[in-house]
Structure formats: C-alpha cells, structure tokens
Chains A and B, each alone.
Chain A
C-alpha cells in the first residue's frame, strides 16, 4: 500500500505540481488549500506525512497552528515545513513544534522525494525493535544510527532535523577532514543554500550538543572553507 502524503499549500500551481511529482514518485497525495480544510480532512483520515506551508490564505501563521493541532492528534506524524519564510525565528519556531524538517522554497522536487523517503525510513525504523546495531557508527562519544537517523552524544539522544542529521553524519564520517561549504550545501539537499545558512545549521547543531555537554568542541570552523569534525584529541 502506497504511503499517503498530505500537502497543505494555498497556491494552486505549487500544490498541483507537488501532487504530480509525488504521485509520480509513488505516493498517494491529499491536497488542502487552507488550514480548516486540512485539519478537517486529516482528522478523518490521518496521512503518513504532512507537508505544510506556513502562510495559508489569510492566516499568517496558519501552518504553525495546524502543526500544533496535528501534533495533538498524532505525536509521531512526520511534519515538514515547506515555506518561503527564511528567517531564523521561523526556523526555530517550526522546529520547536516538533517538525521534522524545515525547507525553504524554491525546492528541488527530487530532493523532496529523497527527504520523504528518508523520513519514512526513520518512521519504519522507529516502529521496529532496535535489535540490529549493524548500522550504527560510533566515533568516540558519538553514536550515529543510520537506520533511525538518530544521533547520541555521550549516550544521550539529540533531537535533530533531517538536514542536521545529514550534516553531522557527513562530517563525522571522515573525522579531521574539512567539509567545504560547497560539500555541505549538497548535503543539505536543498536548492539554494548560502554560507550563512550553513553557518546557521552548524550553530544550531553546536547548541544542541552543548545542551547535553557544555564543553562540546568537536565541530571546528575552518575559516573561509567550511567545517570539520575533530575527534576528542
């Protein structure tokens, strides 16, 4: 049975393009053009994943409100924000509402499919008992579970978005090697990423580590080039 993706987007063209693209990728797609319709529809028939725009018709923060309502209905529903709003505040707000990812328009459709795939993989792995540890990578205090796409630092799990996971994973896979900005832009699987955006990701990642371990220093800036993962030495 095909997985079902709900798309909430007030712009007809975009909505239909998403639908076409995702249907071609083999998903069932429900589309909604505003918050009340979406809430009503999803209440009746909960999708496997929801993609929300933040601005919905005349509701400035309609997406955030919808996310909150959906979260109440289903704590585990993967939710992705896909929006033109690109401010730090919006990102933080979205992720605070337990969204799984925050993507900005314009978005490459291929990347969207990849993300959705990855998210479903995470969902799948969460549903299974964590018996197999073959896909776990351990570098000193860092544990990366590639199946559930989760990361532990000193035994404690970090709450990460998909993009953040990918960035940590790519750095940690080759400790001591510099990941250039260009590399990292690819890894985010988003269309248009500036250095500033990368810096923002790294800053938020560092903060998440520091919440667990205030002496965390393993992600090092290589000025003018990018970042690298340092082992504890």
Chain B
C-alpha cells in the first residue's frame, strides 16, 4: 500500500471544516454587537432628546442656577449632597449613612477671637448638609467638654450651647434663628434679634425642626429645613455657639460651619433641582440613568441607575438528587462558560460607577451639548470593567442653553445578549461537531474496513504465480452500494480473466489437436506418394518434407506436453528419495548419453530426503539442464549445487553465459515465454521451463531464476520440501 492519509483521516479533516461555524457565528455576533450598540445609542439619543424636550422652555427649573454666573464667583458656596434616605430627626446620625463620612470638621476660627488654646481645643464640629425630597438637612456632630442646656426662666437664648442659622433672601430682611435645647430631644427654634440675644417673638418656629442627642464627646444635632424657606437665591450661614461655664453663661467660642469671606459670612446653598428630579422620576428607567446638568456642569438632577436588576443565569451546581443528564448539562455548560470567559467580553453583574453625589462632571459631551450639539459617546465605567454609553442633548430656553440632559446606560445588556447568543451557537456547534465527527469516524472506519476486506479478497483471488484461485469474491458481494458494485465488477473481471486464461491454457492443446489432422494427411500422403512413385522416395525433397512434418509433430508434442503432464501427475504416486542420489545418477546418465558436456556437482548437505515422483523431477532436471546447456558458454561446465535450506532441499543449476534480460527472471516460467534460441532447427516454444514450474508446484516446491552476481551466468534454483519420515510414520 502506498503511504498516504487514510479515508478516515481525510473525512475527519473535512469534518474540521465545521469549526468554521463557531468562527462564523463569532464574526456574526461581533457585527451584531456593533449593530445593537448603535441601536442602543440611537435609543439613548432619543431618550435624551425626549427628556430634553420635556425640560425645554421651563425657566423656573433653572432659576436657582441662573443667578450664579461665573462673574459672581466671589460668592461663597455651600453644597448640599443628595441623601439616599430621609433623615429621621432623633440625634442619631446612623441614617446619614455614607454621607456622614464626608462631613468636614470645623474648629473655632482663629481670626474670630483671641481665645486661648484650651478653649479652642474644647470644641470641634463635624458638619455636612444634605437634601432629600423637599427638605434640606444639616448634621452637626459637636465635640464639647461640657454641654450646657438652656436654663429655665432665663429669657436670653444665647446663654447655652446653641446653633445659629442665618437666612438671607434678596427680597427679604435677614432672618436669624437660634436652635437651643433645654434637654436632649426636640430643640426650640426662635427667630432672633440682631444681637442674637432675645427672640423677636416668644413663639418658636415650627417650620424648622431640629433634634439634639448627647454623645460621649458632646452632642449631635440634626436640622431640617423645608425647601420653601429657601429660594435659589437665598444665602445661608450656620454656626455653633459653645457655652462651657454654667455660671457665667458666656459664649466661649463660635464655630462657623459655612465659609466666610471678606464681604459677609453668608454663602449660597447649592442643591440639585428637585423639580427636575420630579419630572425625571416619571421617566425613570431601571437600566438607564438620566442626568441633568446646569451650565456649571453640576448635576441638578439624577434619576435611575445603570445597574439593572436582571441577573444573568448562572449554572446551578447539581445536587446528588439530580439525574445524570442534568449533571452532564451542568458540567458541559460550566466548562463552556469557563472557556467563553477567555474569548468573549464578559458583562459584569454590577458596575461601579459615579454615584449621584458627584459634584461636577467635565465630560466632553456635556461641554459639547452646552454648545448646542447633540452627541453620543461612551466611556469606561469607574471600575474599567464595562463600557457606559452616554448621550447628551441640550435643553433650550429660548436661545439659551441652561442645561444638558445626559442619559447613560451600560452596554452590559448588549454584551449579555452577545454572550448568550454566542454561547448558544458555540455549544450547539460543538455538540454537532462532536456528533458529526463521531458519525464520520464510524462511517469512515466501516468504509475502510469494507474496502480493506475487498482488497484482501482481491489480493487472495490471484496467487503468487498469477493463477486465479477464486473467481468470485465473497467480500461485499451482496452490498448494494458502490463498494458492492466494485466487488461484483472485480468478480466479473476475475471470471472473464479466468475464462480467458482457461482458453489460453487450452489453446496449445486445441491447436495441436487441430493441426494433427492435416499433418496426418500430409504425412500419409507423403507415404503413399513414395509408394506410388518409388523414385520420389529417394528424393531429397521427400526427405526434407518428412523432416518438416517431423518438426511440426515435435511442436505439437511440445504444446500438449504441459497439459498432459498436469493430468498425468494427478495419478502419480510419490516415493521418498534421496535427492542427492537422484542427481548423481541423473548426471551419470546424462553424461553417458552426452559425453561432451561437463558437469560439476557440489553437495553441501547429504542426504536430502524428499517425497517426489522421481520421473517428473528427472523430467524437470532434463528441462533445466537442456536450458542451461542452451545458454552455457561453450566449454563451460554445468554446476549442480545441492543444499538444505530450512525445510527445503534446494538444487541450484548454474551455467556460465549471458545474463537473463531484465524482467525475464520473473516471466521466464510462464508458458510460451522463450528466450529465443541458438539453433534454428531446434524448437523453442517456451514450454520447457513452464513444465519445470508445474512440476515444482506439484511437489509443493518452487523454482526461481536469477543472474549470477559475481560473473556472467544464470542460476536456476529448484526447491522441494524436505521429507521427514517421522511425520509420516
């Protein structure tokens, strides 16, 4: 068999083409992702436009911001942070949550008074302002070595620890409130006179509310201011007054928690627009976050979240109760997901990103939207693990742009879809691939097996000598497909070939038989002629004619000899003979009748017992010796060598002389193959060596011809199986 890939390997390689399917899907899904993202961008853009449209031409929403111009920058500002929950006024700061940690610590101002260090160190205030809904909250966490409550019957409300709140609206007089407590719990709030000594009226203010709670270090105060008390132009001031000595009741220190500047101590309070937030609330989407920024690029409102609630399905580890199939599915899905995590961008379940309390954003798209451009962009999330799409749309107020709507959405949904699709395609393809490959493998194995069987049957149909042993192949003979056809064709071919070889084998015999009759006519006519015309009997032509007839007769005998021999050998009985003796007596006999021919015998093992029909072996030797003499160089001896090789007795008959032509060594034993002849009168039909072959095969032996390597000459080797008496007796 020539080397090459087997059918099985080839089919498997073809099956590998199926791997193109996941690749194709990968490319497809990647394109789909781009498409989906652009769709998402469009949707976002539409959303931002819709939101912006709602906010168009509603000046009141932006009034609080409108006052603030870059040229008013000498105004101090206080920022209120959005709170995640309403504050329960109880002196307990735990509901401030994360915002409490952003509190800034304030100390008594050096410039304010020349207090000594001990007093200065006796008070510090952690303070922050936040808002939620319609309320502004302020938190004070005061460290104070001695907490002094307001004493009964004492009209002045500055003779205890208290907090001062100043509100300054442009169209109203300045309002001063003092928050003071007789005990822990609800504080009393009074509108104060200019000197902060006495309340203007005895009535406490109930719009404001504050609560005080004692702590180990001092006390906490939570203050709630309703939004209606504050317009966008209201300026505020907050300060904590510390009274340490219950006897003197003197204010030891005043700690301002709002910035102060040269002009006054009031600051603008900046809060995000609740109106806008209210409007946006209606647009709330679970998977998008809508921001409204003012011209300062500060968020005035934000709703929604970019973290959506839907969770991605995680394979559930199978419990022992589950059946094999679901465990199998789990492990299949699990291993696939592990692989996918390396190939595909994985959306994260939760994205860490800017929270609502961000003070200012400088994204380019806001800038561009403020310039009147509608833009979309994307940026990585803060944790850099996913990408966030942003779309900005300007809000118009006449020709002005007082703000910008920015809608943000994470791309994780698209990624999730992509991942899901790809996972499905790949897992299905892998299953298909495995199935198809297995099927192909089985198919190819079976095909190979069948072809191999057919090949073996074909090879054994003809034996080494080219004789047809089986005319009909049994392998695959009944199959309905092409292999079956092939088998039947081969059978058909063998049958025809066999008919043809039978015809060829019978041909010499038929020919001889047919020629015999006319030859007999010639022969008997010659005989009668010589009787009728006595003179002709002595004619040299009569002599030559008879000679010719004789030669034709010889040819006929020659032709029929092989066929007759085959028949005759069937009835021959064999006997055990020492081959060496046979050869020696044969050479003796041959030399006796042909004394001019020299022989040499070299015996390497003696005896060589074989079970043969001696007459036929002698006949074979005759043919071999005749052949050797025909081609021997004149005057050289024919050499016999006899030896035992394993279980065979081998006789080599060697003659010096020309080599066999190339390719002749194999063909020379076929019928009617002749090397030509030296003597024109000598018949050379090429049957002699064929007869040797027949005789050798009949005895279970073989005959081979080859050229001598060392010198010019040819060696014919006749081998016969060794006869061991033990096996037969």
Contacts and interface: CB of A to CB of B under 8 A. Distances in A.
A199 interface: yes
Interface stretch (A28-36, A141-149, A188-196): A188-196
B568 interface: yes
A87 B521 CA distance: 21
B615 A21 contact: no
Nearest to A109: B527
Interface string B556-598: 1110110111011001100000000010011111101100000
A107 B586 contact: no
Interface stretch (A11-19, A38-46, A67-75, A132-140): A11-19
A109 B532 CA distance: 14
A203 B615 contact: yes
A108 B589 contact: no
A198 to B, nearest CB: 9
Contact of A106 (B519, B587, B615): B519
Nearest to A86: B560
Contacts of B214: none
Contacts of B516: 84, 104-106
B536 interface: no
A109 B528 contact: yes
Nearest to B590: A224
Residue from the set A18, A21, A84, A89 with the largest chain B CB neighbour count within 10 Å: A84
B520 interface: yes
B618 interface: yes
A224 B586 contact: yes
Nearest to A13: B521
A104 to B, nearest CB: 7
B525 A13 contact: yes
B572 A203 contact: yes
Nearest to B563: A87
B589 to A, nearest CB: 4
B261 interface: no
B456 interface: no
A14 B567 contact: no
B539 interface: no
Given A223-B618, A224-B587, A109 B524 contact: yes
Interface stretch (B238-246, B468-476, B546-554, B701-709): B546-554
B691 to A, nearest CB: 9
B589 A14 contact: no
A225 B614 contact: no
Given A88-B564, A196-B619, A224-B593, A106 B582 contact: no
A194 B565 CA distance: 11
Contacts of A197: 557
Contacts of A192: 550, 553-554, 556-557
A24 interface: yes
A221 B615 contact: yes
B527 A191 contact: no
Contacts of A104: 516
A45 B272 CA distance: 154
B621 A223 contact: yes
Residue from the set A17, A197, A221 with the largest chain B CB neighbour count within 10 Å: A17
A112 to B, nearest CB: 9
A192 B590 CA distance: 22
A159 interface: no
Nearest to A111: B527
Contacts of B514: 84
B513 interface: yes
A204 B564 CA distance: 14
A224 to B, nearest CB: 4
Given A87-B563, A88-B568, A106 B520 contact: yes
Nearest to A18: B524
Contacts of A202: 615
Contacts of B557: 192-194, 197
A14 B564 contact: no
A13 B517 CA distance: 10
B615 A224 contact: no
Nearest to A182: B593
A20 interface: yes
A96 B664 CA distance: 44
Contacts of A76: none
B697 to A, nearest CB: 17
A223 B524 contact: no
Contacts of A17: 521, 524-525, 527-528
B589 A223 contact: yes
A26 interface: no
Contact of A105 (B519, B554, B616): B519
A68 B525 CA distance: 31
B589 A222 contact: yes
B209 interface: no
A223 B513 contact: no
B252 interface: no
A196 B565 contact: yes
A136 to B, nearest CB: 31
A58 to B, nearest CB: 15
Interface in B502-560: 509, 512-514, 516-517, 519-525, 527-528, 531, 549-550, 553-554, 556-558, 560
A156 to B, nearest CB: 21
A191 B523 contact: yes
B729 to A, nearest CB: 19
A21 B524 contact: yes
Nearest to A225: B589
B622 interface: yes
Given A14-B524, A21-B528, A223-B582, A195 B564 contact: no
Contact of A224 (B521, B550, B589): B589
Interface of A: 11, 13-14, 17-18, 20-21, 24, 84-89, 104-110, 178, 180, 191-197, 199-200, 202-203, 221-226
5 contacts: A24-B528, A107-B523, A180-B593, A203-B572, A221-B614
Interface of B: 509, 512-514, 516-517, 519-525, 527-528, 531, 549-550, 553-554, 556-558, 560-561, 563-565, 567-568, 571-572, 582, 585-590, 592-593, 614-616, 618-619, 621-622, 625
